């Protein structure tokens, strides 16, 4: 491709709309342009990267035996009503009416549509298992789209759906997708990790996420330093302390703590460790009641764990000030456990405390020397908190570490969540009708591009992993207009390399060397070939990998073979 014919517009300055690095670089390099919040156009250069990723995904899905199809983006409401998600999915599902006043949605995912296909097309167990996938535009009306294509409203997803007669087959299909995903992310050149996850709005029992490790990642992921345990922070299990609770020694005492609404302030006033205090959070129980959730002062509540407890409303909602007043007689900040009437869930580590501090249910007052059983009865033990670095791993080996990740893939064993309400069944060997079991598997194709940049860049620009680079080689002639020899050699090289199947971006613009170098580095093409009078004098060309800090010279006549070697290695 001749750069003179490729209308890219690189920018020296960072557009104000971009906060994260990948977004800034994608705009500066001319990969994408914003149309509206969460909606992006992919310019030719960006599209090349996207297509590279798609090709890898497609090859590995095909290799795993999945069958590609395409389903409509616009879907009738009836299907969503049938699965129950018309009411469950919430405002992220964009709904609209057509001219006949019929309800439709813009597909955020395709479980309903694929299940509808399968129940019509498949009649016999002999046709199972089967896995259908597509690479297609999705729309989710995100509350807050951000970070460019990382969390866009419209994005490209590879979504796959497998159907099975029994659990063993579902597990085998799931495992096959796990392996395919591992190959896909390995091939794209990303550093990633598979972690245990919550299944969220998609539903089902077993699920894992694939995260690209990057400091800018939105998710916290947790892993053991001694084995392969890894989980999203949302679901990472906090083990109960191994030490038994010490005996009560102090008497219950009420102390004045003016203005101490936070654990930090309380600990400062009373000169105690936050770990000796407990936080009591009053949340909505969903049935008009409220529930108290208790965690140790130095711990944070894990909302996902909490909202799965019986009698707790999901999504988790903190009780209003009025509700708190009614249930405890005081305001948030002074809520305590002694004499509390509502249902109490206490985190294991809070339950292991003796002689601890909590609110007195009275403004500007706290209690010290509080003890379970003696002063507070009826609390239910639960895992309520977010794990912290240094906690023992639930796997039994090692301690937990926490890193940031970008979720690029998610695989689920859905079971019959969709096939049962939508009546997707086949006849088994004995002629009995069997409801299908289902798995689903997503990859954020557009997100992979952003994640790749987050993981591979320097102060000058992008450094593409070769498998997804828009071009393999950038050919940079210096002072083209001045030197007939440079022009002649460059033109010939471009023809020769292109004919050899190498993807060359040829910077044939009449620009100064500094401009060309700066653009080459911003664009991040992995291999750079410089043609200049200086080395041509000795019959040489200059080569430099985007990661290297210095160029090497080699005989101009060997260009094709030299490059092939570099591309292979």
16-55: contacts with RNA (CB under 7 A) = 16-20, 34, 36-38
Provide the minimum distance between the beta carbon of 451 and RNA in the complex, in angstroms, as a whole number.
9
Q: According to CB under 7 A, which one of 170, 542, 559, 563 is a site residue for RNA?
A: 542
Tokens of 79: 């299907």
Cβ 321 to RNA, closest distance in Å?
A: 14
Least CB distance from residue 167 to RNA, whole Å? Answer: 22
548: which 2 tokens? Answer: 């290297």
Minimum Å gap between C-beta 173 and RNA is 17
Gap between the Cα atoms of 141 and 139, Å rounded = 6
Nearest to 39 by CA among 135, 139, 143, 108: 139
Q: Which helix (H) or strand (E) holds 562?
A: helix 559-568
Q: Assess contact for 268 and 261: CB atoms under 8 A.
A: no
Q: Considering CB under 7 A, how many residues would be counted as binding RNA?
A: 75
Beta bridge partners of 105: 75, 95
Q: How far is the CB of 478 from RNA (least distance, A)?
A: 5
Q: Using the rule CB under 7 A, give the single segment among 4-12, 99-107, 242-250, 342-350 that binds RNA.
A: 4-12
Q: Smallest distance, Å, CB 53 to RNA? A: 12
Shortest separation between residue 400's beta carbon and RNA, angstroms: 19
CB atoms near residue 498 (< 10 Å): 15
Coil, strand or helix at 78: helix
540-545/504-506 β-pairing: unpaired
Kindly state whether residue 325 participates in binding RNA, applying the rule CB under 7 A.
no
Among 517, 524, 529, 559, which residue sits at the site for RNA (rule: CB under 7 A)?
Answer: 517
Shortest Cβ 516–RNA spacing (Å): 8
Select from 359, 442, 524, 526 the one that contacts RNA (CB under 7 A): 442
Q: Site map for RNA, 458-497, x if CB under 7 A?
A: --x-----------------xx-xx---------------
Interacting residues with RNA between 213 and 252 (CB under 7 A): 218-219
Q: According to CB under 7 A, which one of 2, 4, 9, 339 is a site residue for RNA?
A: 9
Given 77, 117, 201, 313, the residue binding RNA (CB under 7 A): 201
Q: Number of helices and strands (H, E) in the chain?
A: 15, 30
Q: Please give the Cα distance from 489 to 534 (Å, whole number).
A: 13
- Interaction of residue 174 with RNA, rule CB under 7 A: no
Find the binder of RNA among 119, 151, 366, 385 (CB under 7 A).
Answer: 151
Q: Judged by CB, which is closer to RNA: 222, or 358?
A: 222
For RNA, the binding residues in 287-316 under the rule CB under 7 A are 303-304, 315-316
Return the HEC string of 351-419.
HCCCCEEEECCCCCEEEEEECECCCECCCEEECCECCCCCCECCCCCCEEEEEEEEEEEEEEEEECCCC
Q: By CB under 7 A, which span of 51-59, 268-276, 493-501, 532-540 interacts with RNA?
A: 532-540
The answer to whether 180 touches 194, Cβ cutoff 8 Å, is: no
In sequence order, what DSSP letters do the residues of 467-479 get, joined into one string? GG-S-SEEEEESS
Provide the minimum distance between the beta carbon of 254 and RNA in the complex, in angstroms, as a whole number: 33
Q: Is 558 in the site for RNA (CB under 7 A)?
A: no
Give the Cβ contact number of residue 310 at 10 Å: 9
Site string for RNA, 358-377 (x = CB under 7 A): --------------------
Q: Please identify, among the stretches 125-133, 145-153, 327-335, 494-502, the one whose residues bind RNA according to the rule CB under 7 A.
A: 145-153
CB atoms within 10 A of CB 499: 9
Q: Which two tokens stand for residue 512?
A: 């100064």
| DSSP-derived 3-state class of residue 425 | strand
């Amino acid at each position: 491709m001749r750069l003179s014919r490729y209308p890219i517009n690189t920018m020296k300055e960072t557009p104000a709309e971009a906060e994260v690095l990948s977004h800034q670089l994608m705009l500066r390099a001319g990969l994408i342009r914003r149309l509206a919040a969460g909606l992006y156009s992919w310019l030719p250069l960006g599209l090349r990267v996207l297509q590279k990723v798609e090709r890898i995904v497609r090859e590995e899905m095909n290799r795993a035996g999945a069958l590609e199809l395409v389903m409509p983006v616009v879907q009738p409401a009836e299907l969503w009503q049938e699965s129950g998600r018309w009411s469950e999915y919430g405002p992220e599902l964009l709904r609209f009416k057509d001219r006949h006043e019929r309800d439709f949605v813009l597909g955020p995912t395709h479980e309903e549509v694929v299940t509808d296909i399968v129940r019509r097309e498949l009649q016999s167990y002999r046709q199972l298992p089967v896995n259908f996938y597509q690479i297609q535009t999705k729309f989710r009306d995100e509350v807050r789209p951000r970070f460019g294509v990382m969390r866009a409203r419209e994005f490209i997803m590879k979504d796959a759906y497998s159907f099975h007669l029994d659990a063993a087959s579902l597990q085998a299909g799931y495992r096959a997708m796990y392996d395919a995903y591992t190959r896909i992310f390995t091939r794209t050149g990303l550093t990633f990790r598979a972690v245990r996850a919550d299944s969220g709005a998609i539903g089902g029992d077993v699920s894992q996420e694939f995260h690209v490790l990057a400091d800018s990642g939105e998710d916290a992921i947790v892993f053991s330093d001694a084995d392969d345990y890894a989980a999203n922070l949302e679901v990472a299990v906090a083990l109960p302390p191994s030490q038994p609770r010490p005996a009560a020694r102090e008497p219950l005492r009420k102390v004045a703590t003016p203005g101490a609404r936070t654990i930090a302030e309380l600990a400062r006033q009373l000169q105690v460790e936050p770990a000796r205090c407990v936080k009591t959070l009053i949340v909505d129980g969903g049935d008009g009641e409220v529930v108290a959730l208790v965690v140790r002062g130095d711990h944070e509540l894990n909302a996902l764990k909490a909202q799965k407890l019986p009698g707790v409303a999901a999504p988790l909602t903190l009780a209003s000030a009025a509700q708190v007043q009614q249930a405890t007689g005081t305001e948030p900040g002074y809520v305590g456990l002694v004499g509390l009437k509502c249902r109490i869930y206490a985190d294991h580590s809070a339950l292991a405390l003796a002689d601890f501090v909590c609110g007195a249910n009275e403004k500007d007052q706290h209690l010290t020397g509080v003890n379970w059983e003696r002063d507070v009865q009826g609390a239910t033990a639960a895992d309520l908190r977010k794990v912290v670095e240094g906690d023992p791993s639930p796997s039994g080996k090692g301690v937990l570490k926490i890193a940031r990740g970008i979720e690029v893939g998610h695989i689920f064993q859905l079971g019959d969540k969709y096939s049962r309400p939508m009546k997707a069944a086949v006849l088994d060997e004995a002629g009995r009708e069997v409801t299908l079991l289902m798995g689903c598997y997503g990859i954020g194709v557009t997100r992979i591009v952003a994640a790749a940049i987050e993981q591979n860049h320097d102060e000058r620009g992008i450094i593409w992993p070769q498998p997804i680079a828009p071009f393999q080689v950038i050919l940079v002639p210096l002072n083209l207009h001045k030197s007939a020899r440079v022009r002649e050699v460059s033109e010939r090289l471009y023809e020769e390399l292109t004919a050899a199947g190498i993807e060359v971006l040829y910077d044939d613009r009449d620009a100064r060397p500094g401009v060309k170098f700066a653009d080459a580095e911003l664009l991040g093409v992995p291999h750079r070939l410089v043609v200049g009078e200086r080395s041509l004098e000795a019959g040489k060309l200059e080569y430099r990998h985007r990661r290297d800090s210095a160029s090497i010279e080699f005989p101009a006549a060997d260009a094709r073979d030299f490059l092939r070697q570099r591309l292979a290695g």
